[in-house]
């Protein structure tokens, strides 16, 4: 039996175990997915221990995504983003990957969004925002990054390169006038009825994706629907980061519908 898991602190709320185990059940794979919650100073021991125990793969979540970068051999995308959310132990050395980026890209493209040549506005420049900015820019879109702390947006835009620009939140309504895609990667709306974007700046022809998945139907997404925009909820990014991790670890196409059903049953 192969063992996969999630390392983070806390991880009690995680929906990853049922999502991955639904995939194993669907494809008849003899594997289990469990959660691990090491104390923060013990993350290096935890990764080395997982390797020594023959654990096949680990997802990584808050607060360890940056720390793990130094504990594995990161691929170029994870290195550029500065965070690892997936470790593959199948080689001689554990390798680190970032499937949040591919997850965000696939969440958008699976909803018919053509990113190549698109104008995107990204609100938020924290952990999720970094992965999403690289995903959007690497797919050929320009990305205007707006953040409460403008310096953080500027630093991310410099890391992303020519396709990116940095702004404060007050610039968002103006930026949205010409935009095809809006992504919220702030924590605004998480567990609260609030939106980081004024409702009157949203319009038909825009696709709005929220990274927030608790609640699933955020104020931003409701405002977007009311304005005639298309919407993509935060469960899609969560789903596709898991799909990419599953495919990397097993080398098989993920049973996306089964994973989606298992995930949404718990949100």
Where does this chain bind ligand NAP (CB under 6 A)?
100, 103, 124-129, 147-149, 152, 185-188, 190, 196, 211-213, 234, 237-238, 241
The residue among 88 and 244 lying less far from ligand NAP, judged by its C-beta, is: 244
Of 57, 58, 59, 65, catalytic: 65
- Kindly state the tokens that stand for 212: 């927030």
Residue 266 contacts residue 37 (beta carbons within 8 Å): no
Shortest CB 227 distance to ligand NAP, Å = 20
The residue among 116 and 170 lying less far from ligand NAP, judged by its C-beta, is: 170
The residue among 74 and 196 lying less far from ligand NAP, judged by its C-beta, is: 196
Helix spans in the chain (H): 16-27, 43-53, 76-81, 99-109, 127-138, 150-160, 172-176, 219-226, 234-250, 256-264
Cβ-based burial of 187 (10 A; exposed 0-12, middle 13-18, buried ≥19): middle
Query: How many CA within 13 A on the CB side of residue 224?
Result: 25
Residue 169 contacts residue 150 (beta carbons within 8 Å): no
Shortest CB 117 distance to ligand NAP, Å = 25
Alpha-carbon span 214 to 193, nearest angstrom? 11
Shortest CB 190 distance to ligand NAP, Å = 4
Is residue 119 among the annotated active site residues? no
Residue nearest to ligand NAP (CB): 126
The residue among 34 and 150 lying less far from ligand NAP, judged by its C-beta, is: 150
Shortest CB 191 distance to ligand NAP, Å = 9
Alpha-carbon span 34 to 16, nearest angstrom? 9
The residue among 201 and 237 lying less far from ligand NAP, judged by its C-beta, is: 237
Alpha-carbon span 142 to 122, nearest angstrom? 10
Does residue 244 sit in helix, strand or coil? helix
The residue among 186 and 250 lying less far from ligand NAP, judged by its C-beta, is: 186
Shortest CB 243 distance to ligand NAP, Å = 11
Shortest CB 93 distance to ligand NAP, Å = 26
Query: How many CA within 13 A on the CB side of residue 195?
Result: 20
Please, what's the b/e burial string for 82-115 (b: 16 or more CB within 10 A of its CB; e: otherwise)?
bbbbbbbbeeeebbbbbbbbbbbbbbbeeeebeb
Alpha-carbon span 17 to 164, nearest angstrom? 35
Active centre residues (catalytic): 65
């Amino acid at each position: 039996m192969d063992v996969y898991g999630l390392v983070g602190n806390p991880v009690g709320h995680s929906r990853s175990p049922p999502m991955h185990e639904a995939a194993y059940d669907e494809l008849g794979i003899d594997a289990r997915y469990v959660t691990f919650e090491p104390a923060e100073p013990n993350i290096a021991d935890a990764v080395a221990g997982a390797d020594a125990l023959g654990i096949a793969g680990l997802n990584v979540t808050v607060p360890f995504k940056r720390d793990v970068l130094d504990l594995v051999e990161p691929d170029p995308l994870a290195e550029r983003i500065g965070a690892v959310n997936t470790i593959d132990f199948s080689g001689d050395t554990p390798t680190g990957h970032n499937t949040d980026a591919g997850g965000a890209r696939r969440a958008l493209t699976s909803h018919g969004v053509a990113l190549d040549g698109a104008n995107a506005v990204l609100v938020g420049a924290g952990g999720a925002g970094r992965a999403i900015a690289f995903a959007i820019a690497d797919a050929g879109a320009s990305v205007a990054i707006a953040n409460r702390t403008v310096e953080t947006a500027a630093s991310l835009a410099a890391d992303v390169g020519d396709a990116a620009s940095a702004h404060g939140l007050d610039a968002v309504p103006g930026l949205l006038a010409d935009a095809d895609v809006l992504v919220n990667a702030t924590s605004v709306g998480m567990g609260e009825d609030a939106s980081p974007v004024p409702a009157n700046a949203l319009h038909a022809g825009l696709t709005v994706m929220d990274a927030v998945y608790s609640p699933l139907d955020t104020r931003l997404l409701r405002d977007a629907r009311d304005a005639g925009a298309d919407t993509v909820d935060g469960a899609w990014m969560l789903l596709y980061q898991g799909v990419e991790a599953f495919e990397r670890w097993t080398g098989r196409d993920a049973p996306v519908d089964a994973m989606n059903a298992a995930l949404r049953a718990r949100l």
